[in-house]
């Protein structure tokens, strides 16, 4: 299984896991923040054929993590 750490794109931030999951479901963009990935800095959303990847979404000023399995 592949894991990637992402953050909300374009300066967005969320206060709860419910908001993060709703944004993912709406197809909002998230930026990959994973130095070990060749895709670091690229944008991703649920429409990008990302099956089999688990996303660790950092939110609330990067203090909390929400896990989303694609």
Round to whole Å and give the CA distance between 65 and 58.
5
10-residue mean pLDDT series, the chain (70 residues): 91 96 96 91 90 93 94
Tokens 């374009």 sit at which residue?
10
Residues 6+ apart with CB under 8 A from 25: 46
Tokens of 25: 């479901």
pTM listed for this prediction? 0.90
């Amino acid at each position: 299984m592949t894991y990637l750490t992402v953050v909300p794109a374009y300066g967005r931030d969320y206060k709860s896991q419910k908001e993060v999951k709703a944004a993912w479901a709406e197809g909002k963009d998230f930026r990959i923040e994973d130095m070990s990935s060749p895709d670091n800095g690229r944008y991703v959303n649920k429409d990008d054929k990302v099956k089999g990847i688990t996303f660790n979404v950092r939110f609330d000023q990067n203090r909390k993590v929400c896990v989303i399995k694609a």
